[in-house]
Amino acid sequence: LSSLDEQALKELIAAELQSARDRSLGLTTEALDEPELTAQVSPLMSPLVWDLAHVGNYEELWLLRAAAGIEPMRPEIDDLYDAFEHPRVERPSLPLLPPEEAREYIATVRAKVLDSLDAVRFDGSGPLTTGGFVYGMVVQHEHQHDETMLATHQLRKGAPALLDPPETPAPARDTVPADEVLIEAGPFEMGTSDDPWAYDNERPGHVVDLPAYYIDTEPVTNAAYLAFMEAGGYDDPQWWHPKGWEWRCAKGKRAPAFWTREAGQWLRRRFGKLEPVPLDEPVQHVCWYEADAYARWAGKRLPTEAEWEKAARWDPVAARSRRYPWGDEYEEGRANLGQRMLHPSPAGSFPSGASAYGVRRMLGDVWEWTSTDFHGYPGFRWFPYKEYSEVFFGHEYKVLRGGSWATHPLAVRGTFRNWDYPIRRQIFTGFRLARDAAEPPARPSGGN
Ligand code: AVJ
Ligand code: FE
């Protein structure tokens, strides 16, 4: 990105806006009728047609009004699509644009964005447009909502509306050389001060000094998680955080979301289809409390956010942090990102995505819970609006890292931070484990 001249960057932006839109329209296809698009499948989610018009309204606010100085097109609908005015549970009862009108509105916004792009300067006219930042923000925003729409599809009951893409050749796999690697004590650079499309919460770059620790080379698999279940993990309060045990008892949970047991076999419902739980894929749809309980049972713990990032980005030989685990440039085929399949990949996949330390699949497959609460880095300043991240800082949210199979490559990097409540399971989330290097594992090799 930083190496492109303004013209080339604008061409890339136009192409990426288009591909995000193709994706959004694919998730709200006309194969879904109006009742499907306007229904609320869960109080946790918006109707799909809300997400669709919301991405267009956000684009109008930031790219037409703020960046290009164009008059509001439909100021009367701003309130409907303001996520802070109306929590998700209220959205189905709002007078939302019906699907056809929503598609028309977002297409009109887009046409005006492309018309005005030439005239907007990416240097000198202020931080919003420097390096194309606000365009990058809008592309990432649309992809974030596409991932949210995938979670809505996953929660939806009834016949499948999304189909697995045609089988592509299985990604290269090999055996994982070791279960965990040692990350030696020492400082590393966390976050970034110069990534042009990084969010405010990824900034500023700062040095963090960590004691030595071990981190798993791969996310915890379904097989390993099943061992925890079969060992009675859901029935033993000693493994659980007190609030986690409360959650477990109140909700009566005994397995990851979307799992059911039939005739002695564990099945999962994935986008409307029941299938055997694939043992070698990372466990998905577990909340922070489940990840935390598993970790305690395995004699380990969740990594802190800083431990996750050092293992993913730090190159101890060059003594610098990389943008991606494998280097500074995104390269196709090194991670299961971008909805290339509708599930995580099996253990051993994407060996070429390993970090300098040999830690694998840090990006893609499943978001990973960390033990860290969501806070601003030292010197944090909100930009360009407080409601992207600052209003969520505190002790309520846990940080998630690395993106999932549903995350677009432009919407994640080694510094990217996501967050959610510790009880949430509809997101495409798993975890990996860590432990202090100073102490031996409490159980030999844990469950992983
Ligand atoms: C960064 C994924 C927590 O989707 O709720 C979307 C991003 N901000 N619209 C979300 C976001 C405004 C946010 N997460
Ligand atoms: Fe949004």
Burial of 325 (0-12, 13-18, 19+ CB in 10 A): buried
- Quote the ligand 2 centre to 332 CA distance (angstroms): 27
Ligand 1 atom at minimum distance from 144 CA: 4
* Angle at 229 (CA atoms; ends 223, 233), nearest 5 degrees: 135
Q: Which of 413, 261, 279 is nearest to 344 (CA)?
A: 279
What pLDDT, on the 0 to 100 scale, is given for residue 448?
46
- Quote the ligand 2 centre to 371 CA distance (angstroms): 25
- Binding-site positions for gamma-L-glutamyl-L-cysteine read 88-91, 420, 424
CB 193, CB 380: distance < 8 Å: no
- Quote the ligand 2 centre to 418 CA distance (angstroms): 13
Prior bond of 409 cis (ω within 30°): no
Measured in whole angstroms, the distance separating CA 253 from the mean position of its chain's CA atoms is 24
Per-residue pLDDT of the chain (448 residues; tens, 9 = 90+): 888 999 999 999 999 999 999 999 999 998 899 999 999 999 999 999 999 999 999 999 999 999 999 999 999 999 999 999 999 999 999 999 999 999 999 999 999 999 999 999 998 779 999 999 999 999 999 999 999 999 999 999 988 899 898 877 767 788 878 899 999 999 999 999 999 999 999 999 999 999 999 999 999 999 999 999 999 999 999 999 999 999 999 999 999 999 999 999 999 999 999 999 999 999 999 999 999 999 999 999 999 999 999 999 999 999 999 999 999 999 999 999 999 999 999 999 999 999 999 999 999 999 999 999 999 999 999 999 999 999 999 999 999 999 999 999 999 999 999 999 999 999 999 999 999 998 766 665 444 4
User: Which residues lie across from 429 on neighbouring strands?
Assistant: 367
Prior bond of 384 cis (ω within 30°): yes
Alpha carbon distance 380, 399 (integer Å):
16
The structure tokens listed for 63 are 């790219």
- Quote the ligand 1 centre to 158 CA distance (angstroms): 27
What pLDDT, on the 0 to 100 scale, is given for residue 172?
77
Strands 367-373 and 273-276, by their bridges, are: unpaired
In 3-state terms the chain splits into helix, strand, coil percentages (rounded to 5) of 35, 15, 50
Residue nearest atom 12 of ligand 1, based on CA coordinates: 388
Q: How many CA atoms lie within 13 A of 436 on its CB side?
A: 5
Strands 367-373 and 429-430, by their bridges, are: parallel
Residue nearest atom 10 of ligand 1, based on CA coordinates: 144
For 22-77, give the secondary structure using H, E and C: HHHHHHCCCCCCHHHHHCCCCCCCCCHHHHHHHHHHHHHHHHHHHHCCCCCCCHHH
Alpha carbon distance 344, 429 (integer Å):
10
What pLDDT, on the 0 to 100 scale, is given for residue 166?
84
- Quote the ligand 2 centre to 193 CA distance (angstroms): 24
User: Which residues lie across from 117 on neighbouring strands?
Assistant: none
What residues flank ligand 1, with Cβ below 6 Å? Answer: 141, 144, 148, 388, 418-419
Query: Strands across the sheet with 434-436, in order?
Result: 180-183, 213-216, 434-436
User: Which residues lie across from 419 on neighbouring strands?
Assistant: 399
- Binding-site positions for Fe cation read 54, 141, 145
Mutation test residue for ligand 1: of 50, 82, 144, 145, the one with most atoms within 8 Å of CB: 144
Alpha-helical runs (H) found in 121-272: 133-155, 222-230, 242-251
Q: Which amino acid is at 81?
A: Y
